[in-house]
Amino acid sequence: MNTDRRRINAPSGGTSAPIFARTVKEAGYLQSLRPTRTRSPNEPRKIFLQTAIIPSASGSAYLEIPSTLPSPPSKTLIAPTSSLKITASIQGPKPLPRSAPFSPSLLLTTTVKFAPFASRTRRGYIRDSVERDLGVHLETALRGVIIGERWPKSGVEVIVTVLEGDEDAWWGDGCITVASAAIADAGIDCVDMVSGGVAAIVRNPSVKSRESVDALVTVLDPCPAEHQHIVAACAVGYLAERDEITEIWMKGDVGASPDALIEGARHAAVGSLTVLKEVLLEAVKGKIRGQVSQEEEKIAQQDIEMTG
């Protein structure tokens, strides 16, 4: 037995390299494992949203888009459907350091970071170009919403963490929606609630001719695992009450007329706004009920002390 504690002992038993039961031999095998979209082109996925999940933050929210299809019985490395899990926390508003220059409005700082286990390809701890690009888009989408003149010489930081997300997916709409819920939970005054939406132009696999009119289809809330060819995608930050778009960015070949793609992303944002309003309304009702119960407990305690 080796008594040297500075040396790591080898395992007692032997090890063998993993052996895969099946290799890809025939063409189209991986494509046969890909799930198909069962939703209509105008039907988005269901969203789970919850606020006040981080007690130490001024405001926080959690967004999850669960898988729409059950896991396949066979074991494969291909994900059954795209699953998105994002958290957002708000730090502030808080006074700026004395060394900072005077600012008549609120300074907004946004940070988007992927967890190392967010995708099948492990990410590094240093922010890459995708994370920095998403942070810039998120800051632009939120800057036109917050009423910054009410917090001079102050700053607020929005931290968004992607806990799970497939490769080549559009996380921008989820980041905007969860950040908007966290800002509302923090009690920061805004002109309206901003919500994110995404639409994509995908190639219809049932149409063989690419020059056909039905070869390209516009779908709302695309799932990357369900589509083999995503021609273009568009994500927007939308204010429904003011009918304004605070941020828009596209990717791919949108063609000569991108209006239909932008309109689809706007419709998807309206669907996210419906969930956002219901969640925030339930959160406000819960806070009011908590305050009322605390007041009733104080009154009951005072009555007990007076009778005692």
Residue 229 has pLDDT above 90, yes or no: no
Average pLDDT over residues 153-178: 83
Superfamily assignment of 34-67+80-306 in CATH? GHMP Kinase, N-terminal domain (3.30.230.70)
* pLDDT for the residue numbered 27: 56
Q: What percent of the chain has pLDDT over 70?
A: 76
More confident residue, 79 or 247: 247
Give the pLDDT score at 225: 75
**pLDDT mean over 68-87:** 61
Mean pLDDT of 118-128: 81
Mean pLDDT of 101-128: 87
Name the residue among 210, 175, 180 with its Cα closest to residue 193: 180
Beta strand 154-164 with 84-95: parallel, antiparallel or unpaired? antiparallel
Q: Which residue has the higher pLDDT, 251 or 298?
A: 251
Three-state secondary-structure class, residue 131: helix
Taking residues 162-182, report their average pLDDT. Answer: 81
Residue 213 confidence (pLDDT) above 70: no
The more confidently predicted of residues 166 and 269 is 269
Query: Is 250 in a helix, a strand, or coil?
Result: strand
Question: Residue 122 has what pLDDT?
Answer: 81
Q: For residue 253, what are the contacts with CB-CB under 8 A and spacing of at least 6?
A: 231, 232
Radius of gyration of the chain (CA): 25
pLDDT of residue 19: 65
Handedness of CA 184, 118, 266, 220 (dihedral sign): negative
Residue 84, pLDDT score: 85
**pLDDT over 60 at 121, yes or no:** yes
User: Three-state DSSP class for 299?
Assistant: helix
pLDDT of residue 74: 47
Q: With contact defined as beta carbons under 8 Å apart, do 279 and 49 qualify?
A: yes
Per the listing, tokens 């010489």 go with: 153
Share the mean pLDDT of the chain. 82
148: left (phi over 0), alpha (psi -120 to 50) or beta: alpha
Higher pLDDT, 107 or 76: 107
Query: Of 174, 165, 102, 92, which Cα lies nearest the Cα of 141?
Result: 174
Minimum mean pLDDT among 66-80, 115-129, 155-169: which range?
A: 66-80
Q: Which segments of the chain are extended strands (E)?
A: 48-51, 59-65, 84-95, 107-114, 154-164, 194-203, 216-220, 230-239, 244-252
Residue range 43-49: mean pLDDT, rounded: 89
Q: 20-41 pLDDT, tens per residue?
A: 666 555 656 666 666 777 888 8
The domain limits of the chain are 34-67+80-306
Average of per-residue pLDDT across 72-80:
50
- Write the CB contacts of 206 (distance below 8 Å, at least 6 apart in sequence): none
